[in-house]
C-alpha cells in the first residue's frame, strides 16, 4: 500500500496553509496562496436551493441561479460576457438542493475586476424579462432532452423512491409544468429572500496572497447586508425504505435500457463514510468498474457499462448501482448484480482488493490538489460539511486504517439486495 510521507502530507491544504476568515457581515472566506500561479480560481455557495422551492414551482432556485448572469443594475447580458471575454475569465452560477453555487477563474491581476462582476451578480441581478424568457426556453429544451434520456429518467425515479417525500426526491431543475409557472417576479423574490452574506462561503486559490484577497472581498462584498435573508434549514432524514420497489419507465425507440438500483445511504459526515468509500470502490469502481463491472460487463457480457456509486450529502444519501443493458437482458443483469452484492456482504474484500483500493485513493489525493481548481473545490468541501481544516492531511491515515472487516460490515449495513429500489428506463423487453 502507498504510504504518503510527511512532506507530501504537509503539501496538502491544511493548517498554516489555508487562511480562513469571517467578514463582519458573516461571509466566510478561505484562501490558499500559490505564488507561482498566474491565475486564480474562485468557488462559492450560498443557501438558496430547491429545498425552498414551492412544489408547484420546483426549479425556481435553479432558474434564479441561471438568471443571475442575464443582467445586473450596471451591465446587460452582452456587457457581462464582454467583460469576461476581455479578461479571458469565466463565471457560472447553478442551483442544487441546498445551495446556489458559483465559480470561475481569471488572471491574478484581474482579481479586483472579477470580484466586481461577481458582486454585481450576487447583489444586483435584474432578471430582464426578455432574457428570462430566452432562459426559460433553454431550460424547457433541456427538460425535453432529459425526458428522452434513459439514464436520467431512471436516476430521477430512483431518487423519488429512495427519498420518498424528502426534498432530495425531486429534481432541482424542476419539471416542464413547474418551470412554466415561474415568473420573473418569482426569481426576484427568491433573490431577495435567500441571497445574502449569511451562509455565503468563498474559496479563492492561486496567485494572490490572502491579505490581498481579503481586501478585494471586503471592498466588493464587505458592506452587503440583507435583513430579509431567510435562515438555512435542515430537511431532516427521509423515511426508511423497508421493502423492494420496482418500476419500469417506458421510453420508446431506445436501443438501451438503463438500470439504477440500490438502497438508502448516509450523510457526508457519517462515521461510515471512509469504509463505505473503499467498499464501493472495490464493488463497482476500481479498474474496469470493480467486481460488478467485471462480472456483469466483462464476464457475462450483459451490460454496456455497470458500476456503483455513493451519494452522501448534508441530510441523507444513497448507495446505488447503475448499468446500461440490452432491453432483453434487464432481469439477468439485475439478478447478477444482486448476487455480486450478496457475495461481497458475505465475504468482504480480499487483502489485495483492499490494499489496491487504499493505494488508489491515497495516491490520487495529491494529484487532485495540483490545480487551483482542485484546491478550491477541496476548500469548499471542507467548509460545506464542516470536515475540519486538516481533513485532507488526515485523509491518508484514515483511508489506511480501514480494515477488510469494516468494509464488509458497512456494505452489510447499507446494501440490502432483497430490499432495493430497482428502476429501469427504456423500451419494454421483447416477449
Question: pLDDT value at position 1?
Answer: 52
Question: pLDDT value at position 3?
Answer: 62
Q: Which helix or strand (DSSP H or E) is residue 314 part of?
A: none
Question: pLDDT value at position 58?
Answer: 98
Three-state DSSP at 124 gives coil
Please give the Cα distance from 262 to 1 (Å, whole number): 30
Tens of pLDDT along 85-110?
999 999 999 999 999 999 999 999 99
Question: pLDDT value at position 5?
Answer: 72
* Claim to verify: residue 266 and residue 331 sit in the same structural domain: yes
Q: What is the mean pLDDT of residues 102-119?
A: 98
Q: What is the mean pLDDT of residues 229-235?
A: 90
Tens of pLDDT along 315-361?
999 999 999 999 999 999 999 999 999 999 999 999 999 999 999 99
* Claim to verify: residue 58 and residue 195 sit in the same structural domain: yes
- Domain membership of residue 79 (yes or no) is yes
Domain boundary among 221, 237, 264: 221
Please give the Cα distance from 261 to 157 (Å, whole number): 10
* Claim to verify: residue 181 and residue 54 sit in the same structural domain: yes
* Pairing mode of beta strands 201-206, 39-46: antiparallel
* Claim to verify: residue 249 and residue 217 sit in the same structural domain: no
Distance of CA 253 to the CA centre of its chain: 31
Question: How many alpha carbons fall within 13 Å on the CB side of residue 429?
Answer: 13
Tens of pLDDT along 123-132?
999 999 999 9
Please give the Cα distance from 149 to 153 (Å, whole number): 6
B/e letters for 333-353, b = 16+ CB within 10 Å, e = fewer, are bbebbbebbeebbeebbeeeb
* Claim to verify: residue 207 and residue 325 sit in the same structural domain: no
Question: pLDDT value at position 293?
Answer: 96
What's the total number of domains in the chain? 2
CA distances from 430 to 327, 328, 350 (A): 8, 6, 39
Q: Sign of torsion, CA 207 210 211 214?
A: positive
* Claim to verify: residue 199 and residue 60 sit in the same structural domain: yes
- Domain membership of residue 390 (yes or no) is yes
Please give the Cα distance from 145 to 168 (Å, whole number): 21
pLDDT-based confidence at 8, cuts 50/70/90?
A: confident
pLDDT at 149 > cutoff 80: yes
pLDDT at 431 > cutoff 70: no
Q: Which residue has the cell 433541456?
A: 142
CATH number at residue 332: 3.30.830.10
Tens of pLDDT along 16-67?
999 999 999 999 999 999 999 999 999 999 999 999 999 999 999 999 999 9
Q: Quote the pTM value.
A: 0.94
Domain boundary among 175, 205, 221: 221
Domain extent, residue 197, equals 6-221
* Claim to verify: residue 250 and residue 200 sit in the same structural domain: no
Rounded to 10 deg, the angle between the 77-87 and 111-123 helix axes is 160
Q: What is the mean pLDDT of residues 104-118?
A: 98
Q: Which residue has the cell 457581515?
A: 25
Cell numbers representing residue 234 in the block: 435542515
Residue spans of alpha helices (H) in 12-110 = 60-67, 77-87
Question: pLDDT value at position 2?
Answer: 57
Cell numbers representing residue 60 in the block: 425556481
pLDDT at 308 > cutoff 60: yes
pLDDT-based confidence at 370, cuts 50/70/90?
A: very high
Task: For residue 75, give every residue at least 6 positions away whose Cβ sits within 8 Å of its Cβ, in sequence order, or none.
Answer: 83, 117, 120
Question: pLDDT value at position 242?
Answer: 87
The percent of residues above 70 in pLDDT, for the chain, comes to 99
Strand partners, 95: 100
Cell numbers representing residue 282 in the block: 472495490
Tens of pLDDT along 239-292?
998 899 999 999 999 999 999 999 999 999 999 999 999 999 999 999 888 999
Cell numbers representing residue 298 in the block: 466483462
- Domain membership of residue 228 (yes or no) is no
Lowest mean pLDDT, pick from 157-161, 171-175, 210-214, 229-233: 229-233
pLDDT at 119 > cutoff 90: yes
Amino acid at each position: 500500500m502507498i504510504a504518503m510521507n510527511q512532506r507530501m502530507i504537509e503539501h496538502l491544504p491544511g493548517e498554516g496553509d489555508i487562511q480562513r476568515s469571517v467578514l463582519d457581515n458573516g461571509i466566510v472566506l478561505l484562501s490558499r496562496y500559490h505564488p507561482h500561479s498566474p491565475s486564480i480560481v474562485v468557488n462559492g455557495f450560498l443557501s438558496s436551493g430547491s429545498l425552498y422551492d414551492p412544489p408547484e414551482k420546483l426549479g425556481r432556485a435553479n432558474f434564479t441561479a441561471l438568471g443571475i448572469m442575464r443582467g445586473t443594475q450596471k451591465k446587460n447580458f452582452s456587457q457581462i460576457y464582454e467583460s469576461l471575454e476581455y479578461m479571458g475569465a469565466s463565471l457560472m452560477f447553478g442551483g442544487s438542493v441546498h445551495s446556489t453555487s458559483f465559480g470561475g477563474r481569471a488572471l491574478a491581476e484581474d482579481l479586483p475586476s472579477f470580484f466586481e462582476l461577481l458582486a454585481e451578480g450576487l447583489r444586483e441581478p435584474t432578471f430582464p424579462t426578455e432574457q428570462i424568457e430566452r432562459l426559460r426556453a433553454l431550460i424547457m429544451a433541456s427538460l425535453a432532452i432529459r425526458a428522452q434520456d434513459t439514464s436520467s429518467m431512471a436516476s430521477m425515479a430512483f431518487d423519488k423512491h429512495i427519498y420518498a417525500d424528502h426534498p432530495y426526491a425531486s429534481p432541482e431543475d424542476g419539471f416542464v409544468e413547474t418551470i412554466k409557472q415561474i415568473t420573473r417576479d418569482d426569481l426576484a423574490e427568491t433573490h431577495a429572500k435567500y441571497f445574502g452574506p449569511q451562509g455565503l462561503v468563498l474559496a479563492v486559490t492561486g496567485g494572490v496572497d490572502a491579505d490581498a484577497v481579503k481586501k478585494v472581498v471586503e471592498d466588493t462584498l464587505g458592506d452587503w447586508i440583507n435583513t430579509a435573508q431567510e435562515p438555512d434549514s435542515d430537511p431532516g432524514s427521509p423515511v426508511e425504505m423497508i421493502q423492494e420497489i420496482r418500476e419500469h419507465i417506458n421510453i420508446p425507440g431506445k436501443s438501451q435500457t438503463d438500470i439504477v438500483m440500490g438502497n438508502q445511504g448516509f450523510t457526508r459526515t457519517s462515521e461510515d463514510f471512509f469504509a463505505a468509500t473503499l467498499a464501493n470502490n472495490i464493488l463497482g469502481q476500481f479498474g474496469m468498474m470493480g467486481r460488478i463491472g467485471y462480472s456483469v460487463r466483462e464476464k457475462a457480457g450483459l451490460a454496456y457499462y455497470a458500476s456503483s456509486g455513493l451519494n452522501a450529502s448534508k441530510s441523507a444519501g444513497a448507495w446505488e448501482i447503475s448499468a446500461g443493458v440490452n432491453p432483453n437482458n434487464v432481469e439477468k443483469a439485475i439478478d447478477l448484480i444482486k448476487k455480486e452484492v450478496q457475495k461481497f456482504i458475505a465475504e468482504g474484500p480480499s487483502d489485495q482488493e483492499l490494499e489496491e483500493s487504499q493505494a488508489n485513493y491515497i495516491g490520487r489525493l495529491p494529484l487532485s490538489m495540483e490545480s487551483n481548481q482542485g484546491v478550491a473545490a477541496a476548500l469548499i468541501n471542507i467548509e460545506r460539511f464542516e470536515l475540519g481544516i486538516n481533513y485532507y492531511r488526515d485523509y491518508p491515515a484514515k483511508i489506511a486504517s480501514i480494515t477488510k472487516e469494516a468494509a464488509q460490515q458497512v456494505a452489510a449495513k447499507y446494501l440490502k439486495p432483497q430490499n432495493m429500489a430497482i428502476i429501469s428506463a427504456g423500451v419494454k423487453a421483447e416477449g
